[in-house]
Amino acid sequence: MVRVLIAIAIGYGIWRVSFGMIKMLATPPPEIDPDDIIETDQEYWCTVCGTGVTMTIANATAESKAPRHCREPMVPAPS
Ligand SMILES: [Zn+2]
């Protein structure tokens, strides 16, 4: 009987977690505020493969302004 209760508890836990994840994925990201968009001319390099990109528009409120490449944040190129 205890096993059945444990199984129900685990099942309920998995159901709650998966429901929460679906809800999180279904929620659209907040709208972009045009005032947060700034023009820039910053080059970034990927330290893993050497790829370089030039960013022309950035979001001033973004946590990290550097884009990611090869799963690593790119480093600003010295100007
Ligand atoms: Zn790369």
43 CA from centroid of ligand 1 (Å): 14
Q: Ligand 1 centroid vs 66 CA: distance in angstroms? A: 13
Same domain, 40 and 72: yes
What Rg value do the Cα atoms of the chain yield, rounded? 22
How far, in Å, CA of 48 to CA of 44, rounded?
12
3-state SS, residue 58: strand
The parent domain of residue 22 ranges over 1-30
The Å distance, Cα 50 to ligand 1 centre, comes to: 6
Res. 74 pLDDT band, cuts 50 70 90: very high
The answer, yes or no, to whether residue 66 has pLDDT greater than 90, is no
User: What is the SS3 assignment for 25?
Assistant: helix
Q: In sequence order, which ranges of 1-79 are alpha helices (DSSP H)?
A: 2-26
37-57 average pLDDT score: 94
Q: Which positions ≥6 away from 41 have C-beta within 8 Å?
A: 54, 55, 56
39 and 72 co-located in one domain: yes
Beta pairing, strands 75-76 & 68-69: unpaired
